[in-house]
Amino acid sequence: MGTHEITEREPGVFYTRLEPCSVAVLPHVLAPAPSHVWVVDHWPDPAFVWRDMPVPLTADGQCEQLRVRLIQYDFQMPAQQFLGSVLPRLSRSDGIILLQLDRPVDDSLHYRRVTQLPDAHAVLRRAGWRLTFELKHGGDFGEVTAASRAELERVLADPVVAAGKTARELP
């Protein structure tokens, strides 16, 4: 499959590939309407090196200064907050799995478990799912899966996406 082609992967689930890109394309992918993003399996430091940093050991929020590596977690927040304060701090070489939803994710949803279900997209739809953006690493093809063809048509019509801006051409 080439880039910028929309296919229906299963009834009501649409997919497209973007040109090689970075996380900098996200302002052109996310729907402008009020929403939330859920970033899955975020690695703040993908290097396999030990770092000294404060880390919570329990849910009480107290941190311990520890030597750690391979920290990985999910986080969610309003999309506009993500675009304004988090995205500018992410490295252009980072990969990401990001879901855009109409509302915050319930405590019961675990992405890796949900994606193993035969009705995964139906479960995500009930949670307000709009789209998923996946990028293995900066410079790879971006993949967008959405709950509607119109959502992908909107993404592909964005001038930056439509122009096929590559990772090197994005700010």
Instruction: Tell me the per-residue pLDDT of 91-136, one tens digit each, with 9 for 90 and over.
Output: 888 899 999 999 999 999 999 999 999 999 999 999 999 999 999 9
**More confident site: 28 or 48:** 28
Residue 113 burial (CB count, 10 A) = 11
Task: Please give the Cα distance from 4 to 83 (Å, whole number).
Answer: 23
Asked whether 104 and 82 are in contact (CB, 8 A), the reply is: no
pTM beyond cutoff 0.85: yes
What is the structure's pLDDT at 91?
A: 85
Task: Please give the Cα distance from 105 to 28 (Å, whole number).
Answer: 23
What is the structure's pLDDT at 170?
A: 61
The predicted-structure confidence for 65-74, as pLDDT tens digits, reads as follows 999 998 889 9
What is the structure's pLDDT at 169?
A: 67
Task: Please give the Cα distance from 17 to 7 (Å, whole number).
Answer: 10
What percentage of residues in the chain have a pLDDT greater than 70? Answer: 96
What percentage of residues in the chain have a pLDDT greater than 90? Answer: 78
What is the structure's pLDDT at 61?
A: 85
Q: Which amino acid is at 102?
A: D
